[in-house]
């Protein structure tokens, strides 16, 4: 089996170097960002609640949930007048790398092993500033906590700086990732809470730190909506919901779901559900399989997990590929072939400038998948991005509505392989390894 990566034959071989230290955010930009955020949110109903924050001065590390661009603005209001270094994905640098560098952003490529990122974070904290990162590393697809890698706990332990959790509520309901263009009227509520002190971090193991992070960053926007009595009266409120609810719980068919107005439906069996103003679902006829949207979403994940366990999961497709080796635009690589399975991970193959390229991300090299719904930077359609340490490949699949399932499969395969590796490593430390003895 071929495993070697073959780089794309670019005419311009230069790459954007993420391996550079961030500059210290000039105070002028700290003020400017605050002012722009203030005016962007002016007139909108919002509340920022600070918990256990008395007397806390930078340096500290913010870990925040991530729902839409508003998160940056609310974080800027919550932390002013302190300088922030935000960790952002490289596509945010598109055509404006200089600006992102000037405001102190730290560029990375999603879900890669970016060892320099650790150094940049340490530098920011050593300067006495606020370091803000979004450990889920993408907008929440369903308004609930996504996968947070264990490496975040190790990062906290290594730095030893206080940790503040910012949890936004309402941002997802206002602009859900699956239909972010059509905004709904929802108040914003952000909590800013000190969750770990340097003394606590010193006494805790990485596992204990991760337990705290998981607990403090757990959220469920649909539960929050119900508890808070928020009604979303916009008639288009379910449009796009089929992008995350892609599997019919009635006839079990995948990728045949659709949505319009306040309804989601299956084009295979015809079953239809209404999304009520309180965010819950109700079937027009027969049983309501899932009234709570995250339950439907989690059920889909379980189906993917079972498929992988049975050894039946595999994906292959023809994709339109656009890469981002630098920040001055995307390179159109044309058609490519991609496959994803539990043995190889992702393998992308194509041709550019007369030479073949091959990009592979083995299961343990990619713990989550960067998915975009209706991606606005290249072509308005769903896509996913496979990044290496020095390039990113945005793939537009030919298969309909596949990206949510791919994201589930990526995480499940990663966790399964990581668990297998842990088992082997642990066994090797024992006198007899149960794997070796077979």
Site for Zn ion, rule CB under 5 A: 248, 250-251, 266, 268-269
Q: Quick one: DSSP state of residue 90?
A: G
d(CA 410, CA 364): 10
Q: How far is the CB of 253 from Zn ion (least distance, A)?
A: 5
Nearest in space to 142 (alpha carbons), one of 363, 395, 407: 407
Q: How far is the CB of 294 from Zn ion (least distance, A)?
A: 20
* Contact between residue 291 and residue 301 where contact means Cβ atoms under 8 Å apart: no
> 127 vs 242, which CB is nearer to Zn ion?
242
CA 2 to chain centre: 30
Residue written as token pair 């706990």: 153
Q: How far is the CB of 271 from Zn ion (least distance, A)?
A: 5
Beta bridge partners of 190: 48, 168
> 187 vs 258, which CB is nearer to Zn ion?
258
Q: How far is the CB of 264 from Zn ion (least distance, A)?
A: 11
Helix (H) or strand (E) holding 199: helix 198-203
> 119 vs 256, which CB is nearer to Zn ion?
256
> 174 vs 247, which CB is nearer to Zn ion?
247
String of DSSP letters for 216-243: HT--BHHHHHHHHT-----TTTTTTGGG
> 270 vs 311, which CB is nearer to Zn ion?
270
CB atoms within 10 A of CB 381: 13
> 72 vs 297, which CB is nearer to Zn ion?
297
Q: How far is the CB of 104 from Zn ion (least distance, A)?
A: 49
d(CA 406, CA 111): 14
Q: How far is the CB of 266 from Zn ion (least distance, A)?
A: 3
């Amino acid at each position: 089996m071929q495993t070697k990566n073959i780089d794309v034959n670019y005419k311009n071989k230069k790459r954007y170097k993420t391996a550079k230290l961030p500059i210290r955010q000039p105070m002028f930009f700290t003020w400017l960002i605050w002012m722009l955020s203030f005016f962007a949110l002016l007139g909108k109903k919002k509340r920022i609640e600070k918990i256990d924050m008395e007397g806390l001065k930078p340096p500290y590390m913010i870990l925040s949930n991530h729902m839409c661009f508003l998160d940056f603005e609310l974080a800027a209001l919550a932390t002013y007048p302190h300088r922030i270094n935000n960790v952002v994905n490289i596509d945010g640098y598109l055509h404006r790398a200089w600006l992102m560098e000037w405001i102190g952003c730290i560029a990375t490529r999603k879900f890669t092993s970016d060892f320099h990122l650790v150094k940049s974070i340490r530098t920011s904290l050593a300067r006495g500033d606020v370091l803000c990162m979004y450990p889920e590393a993408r907008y929440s697809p369903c308004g609930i906590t996504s996968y947070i890698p264990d490496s975040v706990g190790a990062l906290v332990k290594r730095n030893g700086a206080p940790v503040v959790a910012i949890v936004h509520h309402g941002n997802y309901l206002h602009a859900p990732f699956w239909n972010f263009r059509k905004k709904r009227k929802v108040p914003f509520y952000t909590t800013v809470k000190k969750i770990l002190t340097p003394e606590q971090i010193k006494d805790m193991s990485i596992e204990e730190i991760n337990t705290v992070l998981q607990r403090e960053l757990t959220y469920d926007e649909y539960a929050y909506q119900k508890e808070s009595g928020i009604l979303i009266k916009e008639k288009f409120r379910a449009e796009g919901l089929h992008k995350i609810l892609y599997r019919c719980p009635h006839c079990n068919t995948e990728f045949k779901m659709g949505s319009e107005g306040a309804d989601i439906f299956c084009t295979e069996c015809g079953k239809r559900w209404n999304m009520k103003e309180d965010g819950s679902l109700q079937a027009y006829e027969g049983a309501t399989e899932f009234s709570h949207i995250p339950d439907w979403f989690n059920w889909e994940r379980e189906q993917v997990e079972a498929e992988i366990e049975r050894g039946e999961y595999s994906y292959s497709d023809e994709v339109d590929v656009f890469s981002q080796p630098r920040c001055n635009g995307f390179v159109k690589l044309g058609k490519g072939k991609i496959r994803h399975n539990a043995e190889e991970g992702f393998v992308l193959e194509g041709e550019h400038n007369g030479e073949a390229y091959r990009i592979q991300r083995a299961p343990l090299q990619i713990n989550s998948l960067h998915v975009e719904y209706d991606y606005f930077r290249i072509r308005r359609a769903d896509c996913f991005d496979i990044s290496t340490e020095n390039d990113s490949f945005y793939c537009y699949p030919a298969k309909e509505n596949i990206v949510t399932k791919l994201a589930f499969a990526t995480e499940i395969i990663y966790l399964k392989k990581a668990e297998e590796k842990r088992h082997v490593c642990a066994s090797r430390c024992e006198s007899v390894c149960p794997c070796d003895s077979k």
